[in-house]
Amino acid sequence: MKVKIKGQTGQELFESVRCLIASGELKEGDALPPVRELAAEVGVNRNTVAGVYQRLVKSGLAETKGRLGTRVKSRQSSQQQDGITETKLMDLADGNLRKEWFPSLDQLAAKAQLRQFVYGEAPILPEIEQFGREWFKDMCPPNMGLSITSGAVDSLERLMSAHLLPGDQVIVEDPCYLGSSTAIKLAGMHPVGVSIDSDGMVADELESKLSKGARAVLITPRAHNPTGCCYSKQRAEAIREILSRYPNVLVLIDDHYALLAQQPYHNLIAENSMYWGVFRSVSKGLGPDLRLAFVAADPVTTERLQSRLTIGMNWVSRILQSLVITALKSDSIDQQLQVMSQHCRQRNQWLIEALEANGLSIQGPVEGVNLWVPVNGDPQASAYELSKHGWLVRPGSQFDIDGKALGLRVTTTKLSQELALQLAKDIVSACT
């Protein structure tokens, strides 16, 4: 049955569509009537309907699909996010580090100096601010301010809301981390993909997308998820040169692997960039329940971020801050983080060497908990073939933005050297 959109003004038509979506009469993926058809049906100017559709897109309720017209926007499924899966297969798709590698929360709580806080006290503990400034001082412009948030994705959402509007384009690496692309879409903005190679974003593609009006760029300098890519010094210099021609573009740097990184960090912010933010989460090394991120940013962005950290609404728990700073200042936990980093590096190396022994080369350097394995043909079909051998991996198509990623994302943290050898043989026989 055809749904009835009613109204004589733009506001009435917008509210009619919104109510139809909320009631379920218009479902995800349903096509809205062509502009000319709806205008004739309700008796308004075509420009009025076109404006309504633009507003629906900017508000995140609809999306344009070229020749397929304007459709009710599909929501990102939470089932596509990383995490443990109910499966009898060897789960190499979850994106997790191993629980036994993380510091003991009981021991950490026993060492931390926890106390009650009340309204009106500073939202950031002095020890946290001092640590953050030391952590960033040689890697960011000297005028940086410091804030803290509840993790990397929270940092991304807050930084975008500080400068961007629904409908704005945000350049991302393609393939892209699911959490980032989902956050951008849910904010009503549009992720625009730039393909990456072993050195980072392809510079010419980045310039092209910036010239078409993108308002922000999101870059993962190390341990890119899903590929493990780390930006080279030469590529970082090329990107800075390009960004210098677009000083008003918001530059967002997600250095989520900083606590465990062995590859160097190369600056990606141009000297004249007006708005920028570098965020580093501690949850990759300390565990996802200690969800806190340090955010270095320009003064204007910092002021906008901190205005939202008002007491009673959005400040990060100071009990959590106490636990985190206790961990970051602990020599024993620092040693544990180094061991964890080496575990990840070793397992990646086992699989890289096993694949190379079977004739499949992985371009590097790579870092992180995931390895990107190129395949011939449909990644979904390749993942299915591997499942027949007992392996669960992520097809690269789940991370696509504008391109088609011909690869598989393999979480390596559960691999032994023996398992890596068997997995490599199965990948080469089933997927190449």
What is the DSSP track for 232-265?
-HHHHHHHHHHHTT-TTSEEEEE-TTTTT--SPP
More confident of the two residues 288 and 57: 288
Q: 352 or 4, which is more confident?
A: 352
Cβ neighbours around 318 below 10 Å, total: 18
From the candidate CATH numbers 3.90.110.10, 3.40.190.10, 3.90.1150.10, 3.40.50.300, the one assigned to the domain spanning 78-99+333-431: 3.90.1150.10
State the pLDDT confidence band at 56, using cuts at 50, 70 and 90.
Answer: confident
DSSP 281-342: ESHHHH-TTS--EEEEE-HHHHHHHHHT--TTTTPPPHHHHHHHHHHHT-HHHHHHHHHHHH
* CA separation for the pair 93, 83 (Å, rounded): 8
- Residue 214: half-sphere exposure toward Cβ, Cα within 13 Å: 23
For residue 224 the two structure tokens come to: 């890119």
Q: What are phi and psi of 295, to 5 degrees?
A: -125, 115
What is the average per-residue pLDDT within 97-107?
A: 93
Query: What would the mean pLDDT of 259-263 be, rounded to a whole number?
Result: 96
Mean pLDDT value across residues 100-111: 92
Please give the helix or strand (H or E) that residue 394 lies within, else none. Answer: strand 394-395
Q: Which two tokens stand for residue 34?
A: 């062509």
For helices 203-211 and 233-243, give the axis angle rounded to 10 degrees.
20
Sign (positive or negative) of CA dihedral 320, 324, 325, 326: positive
Q: Predicted confidence band at 188 (pLDDT cuts at 50, 70, 90)?
A: confident
**Cα–Cα dist 430/396, whole Å:** 16
- Sorted by where each begins, the domain ranges of the chain are 10-72, 78-99+333-431, 116-328
- CA geometry: angle 189, 191, 194, nearest 5 deg: 155
Question: With the C-alpha atoms ordered 281, 128, 108, 315, is the resulting torsion angle positive or negative?
Answer: negative
% residues pLDDT > 70 (the chain):
96
Q: What are phi and psi of 365, to 5 degrees?
A: -75, 155
Tell me the C-alpha distance between 66 and 31, whole Å. 12
Give the tens place of pLDDT for each residue, 370-392: 999 999 888 999 999 999 999 99
Read off the pLDDT of residues 70-86 as tens digits, 9 standing for 90 and up: 888 876 544 467 776 66
What percent of the chain is modeled with pLDDT above 90?
69
Q: Name which CATH class applies to 10-72.
A: mainly alpha
Instruction: Give the Cα separation of 11 and 9 in Å (integer).
Output: 5
The CATH number corresponding to 116-328 among 3.40.640.10, 3.30.420.40, 3.40.50.970, 3.60.130.10 equals 3.40.640.10
Contact between residue 78 and residue 178 where contact means Cβ atoms under 8 Å apart = no
Q: How far is CA 352 from the centre of its chain?
A: 25
The pLDDT of residue 313: 57
How much is the average pLDDT of 37-47?
91
Q: What is the mean pLDDT of the chain?
A: 91
- pLDDT above 60 for 6: yes
What pLDDT is attached to residue 311?
53
